[in-house]
C-alpha cells in the first residue's frame, strides 16, 4: 500500500513556505504539534470533546457537514490547524479571515439550551481553541515523549495565546498556564451537555474510520482496522471519567492499558519512520500535508521571518477577526433569526482555495513522500 521514498525524494515533493509564520522551529509548539501523536489521537480527542458544548453540537448537527463529508471535513479542519502552526503568515492570516465568513453561516437556535448560537462568538472559539491545544499536549504526554519541562510548558501556553489571535477570541480570556487551563475546564463543566446530538456525533467520529477516504478499497480498510481500533481506544483512554460517562463510552482499565502500551509503540514507529509518518498524514488529511510536511521535514522557508499575529494582520491588510466581516455576519443573522430562512453559503466556495476542497472527489490524490 505504501511506496518507500528516500529523504531526497521527500524533500523534492514539497514546496517551502513563504516564511516561518507565527511560531517557527524554535517554538515548543512546533515540537508538540509536529509529533505523530497529533495527527489522529490529539486531533480526534479535540473534535470529539468539543461536542459537549451544546452550542457547537447544534451548529455541527444543523450544518450536517460532518455526517455527509466526514473525510474532507476532517482534512479541512486539520489543514487549518496546520496553517496556524506551520503555514506562512500571509496565507494563514487570509485563511483565518475567510473562516470568519464561513463561520458566519453557523448561527441558529440551540434546542438543548433554548438559546441561540454563533460560531464566531469569542467563547465558542475559545472552547475549540483550548480543547485542541490541551488535547494535542495531553496525547503528546501520554503516547509520545512525555511531559514538557516547566519552561517549555510556559512557552507552549504563551504560544497558544498568540495563535488564539487568529480567531474571534478575546486574548485576555486565553488561559496561559496548566493550572489556568484546568480551571477553565472546571468552569466549563456545568455548561457541558451529554445531549443526544453530542453522543451521536462522538460515537460517529470515535471509531476514526470516518476520516478514511471514501474511495479507499475495502481490503485496505480491513488492513488498517487493527490500528484504527487501537487509536480509537487510545482517544477514549484520555477522556476524564466524567466525560466518558457523558459520552456513554464504556472502557475498562485493561483496555486503557492495552491502548497506552500499543499506542506508545505505534507512535514510536511513526516517529522513527518518516515514510510511515507522512503516509499516515497523507492518508487521513491530504489537504494538510503540503502545509505540515515542510516543517516536519525541516524544509526552510523562503524567508526566515517569524511574525506576530497582530503584526501580520495589519501588514497584509486583514482586520482583527473579532472586528471582521460584520456585514456578512449581520446578513446571516438576519436571514436566520428574522427571515426564518437558511443562511447563505457565502465564504464556503472562497474557503476551498485556502482550506481545501469540500467535495471528496476534488481532493488531490496523495503524491508526496508516502507514494500511495
The pLDDT of residue 368: 34
The pLDDT of residue 367: 34
DSSP string spanning 344-369?
P-TTHHHHHHHH--SSGGGSPPP-ST
What is the number of structural domains in the chain?
1
In a domain, 210, yes or no: yes
Spell out the SS3 assignment of 135-188: HHHHHHHHHCCCCCCHHHHHHHHHHHHHHHHHCCCCHHHCCCCHHHHHHHHHHH
Percent of the chain with pLDDT over 90: 76
Query: If phi over 0 gives left and psi between -120 and 50 gives alpha, with beta otherwise, what is residue 345?
Result: alpha
In a domain, 348, yes or no: no
The pLDDT of residue 333: 95
The pLDDT of residue 86: 97
Compute the CA torsion angle 292, 162, 57, 291 (nearest 10 deg). Answer: -10
The pLDDT of residue 65: 58
Compute the CA torsion angle 309, 313, 319, 324 (nearest 10 deg). Answer: -60
Report the first-to-last Cα separation within the chain, whole angstroms. 6
Q: Return the number of other C-beta atoms located less than 10 Å from residue 182's C-beta.
A: 12
In a domain, 84, yes or no: yes
In a domain, 350, yes or no: no
CA proximity to 102, closest of 58, 55, 59, 164: 59
- What is the DSSP secondary structure assignment for residue 51, as one 8-state letter? G
The pLDDT of residue 282: 84
Strands 116-118 and 107-109: antiparallel
Per residue in 168-203, pLDDT (tens digit) is 999 999 999 999 999 999 999 999 999 999 999 999
In a domain, 371, yes or no: no
Question: What is the radius of gyration, based on Cα positions, of the chain?
Answer: 20
Alpha helices in the chain (DSSP H): 7-12, 28-33, 41-49, 54-63, 65-68, 70-86, 89-103, 122-143, 150-163, 178-188, 196-205, 218-238, 241-247, 253-272, 274-284, 286-297, 309-315, 326-333, 348-355
Q: Report residue 146 as a C-alpha cell.
A: 512525555
In a domain, 368, yes or no: no
Per residue in 198-226, pLDDT (tens digit) is 999 999 999 998 888 888 899 989 999 99
Q: Could you list the mean pLDDT of each consecutive 10-residue stretch along the chain, which spans 372 residues?
A: 71 92 97 94 95 92 69 83 97 96 93 94 96 98 96 97 97 95 96 93 92 86 93 97 96 97 96 89 85 94 97 98 96 95 86 72 42 22
In a domain, 360, yes or no: no
The pLDDT of residue 356: 72
The pLDDT of residue 366: 39
Relative orientation angle of helices 274-284 and 253-272, to the nearest 10 degrees: 110
In a domain, 48, yes or no: yes
pTM of structure: 0.92
What are the φ and ψ backbone dihedral angles of 333, each rounded to 5 degrees? Answer: -65, -40
Which position has the grid cell 457565502? 346
Contact status, residue 86 vs residue 300, Cβ threshold 8 Å: no
Contact status, residue 59 vs residue 164, Cβ threshold 8 Å: no
Note down the domain range covering 126. Answer: 7-338
What are the φ and ψ backbone dihedral angles of 243, each rounded to 5 degrees? Answer: -75, -35
Q: Report residue 261 as a C-alpha cell.
A: 502500551
Amino acid at each position: 500500500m505504501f511506496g518507500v521514498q528516500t529523504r531526497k525524494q521527500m524533500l523534492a515533493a514539497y514546496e517551502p513556505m513563504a516564511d516561518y509564520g507565527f511560531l517557527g522551529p524554535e517554538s515548543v509548539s512546533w515540537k508538540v504539534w509536529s509529533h505523530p501523536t497529533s495527527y489522529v489521537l490529539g486531533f480526534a480527542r479535540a473534535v470529539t470533546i468539543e461536542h459537549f458544548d451544546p452550542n457547537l453540537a447544534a451548529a455541527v448537527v444543523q450544518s450536517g457537514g460532518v455526517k455527509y463529508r466526514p473525510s474532507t471535513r476532517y482534512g479541512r479542519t486539520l489543514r487549518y490547524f496546520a496553517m496556524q502552526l506551520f503555514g506562512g503568515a500571509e496565507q494563514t492570516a487570509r485563511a483565518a479571515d475567510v473562516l470568519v465568513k464561513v463561520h458566519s453561516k453557523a448561527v441558529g437556535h440551540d434546542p438543548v439550551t433554548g438559546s441561540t448560537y454563533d460560531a464566531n462568538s469569542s467563547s465558542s472559539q475559545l472552547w475549540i481553541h483550548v480543547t485542541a491545544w490541551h488535547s494535542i499536549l495531553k496525547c503528546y504526554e501520554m503516547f509520545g515523549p512525555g511531559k514538557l519541562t516547566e519552561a517549555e510548558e510556559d512557552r507552549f501556553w504563551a504560544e497558544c495565546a498568540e495563535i488564539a489571535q487568529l480567531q474571534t477570541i478575546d486574548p485576555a480570556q486565553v488561559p496561559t498556564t496548566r493550572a489556568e487551563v484546568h480551571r477553565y475546564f472546571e468552569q466549563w463543566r456545568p455548561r457541558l451537555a451529554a445531549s443526544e446530538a453530542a453522543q451521536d456525533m462522538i460515537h460517529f467520529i470515535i471509531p476514526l474510520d470516518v476520516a478514511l477516504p471514501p474511495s479507499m478499497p475495502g481490503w485496505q480498510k480491513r488492513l488498517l482496522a487493527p490500528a484504527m481500533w487501537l487509536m480509537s481506544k487510545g482517544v477514549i483512554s484520555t477522556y476524564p471519567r466524567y466525560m466518558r460517562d457523558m459520552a456513554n463510552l464504556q472502557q475498562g482499565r485493561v483496555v486503557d492499558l492495552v491502548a497506552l502500551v500499543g499506542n506508545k509503540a505505534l507512535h514510536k514507529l511513526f516517529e522513527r519512520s518518516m515514510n510511515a509518518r507522512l503516509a499516515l498524514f497523507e492518508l487521513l488529511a491530504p489537504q494538510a500535508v503540503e502545509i505540515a510536511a515542510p516543517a516536519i521535514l525541516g524544509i526552510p522557508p523562503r524567508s526566515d521571518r517569524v511574525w506576530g499575529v497582530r503584526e501580520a494582520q495589519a501588514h497584509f491588510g486583514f482586520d482583527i477577526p473579532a472586528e471582521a466581516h460584520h456585514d456578512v455576519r449581520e446578513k446571516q443573522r438576519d436571514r436566520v433569526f428574522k427571515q426564518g430562512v437558511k443562511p447563505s453559503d457565502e465564504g464556503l466556495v472562497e474557503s476551498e482555495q485556502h482550506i481545501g476542497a469540500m467535495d471528496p472527489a476534488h481532493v488531490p490524490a496523495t503524491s508526496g513522500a508516502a507514494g500511495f
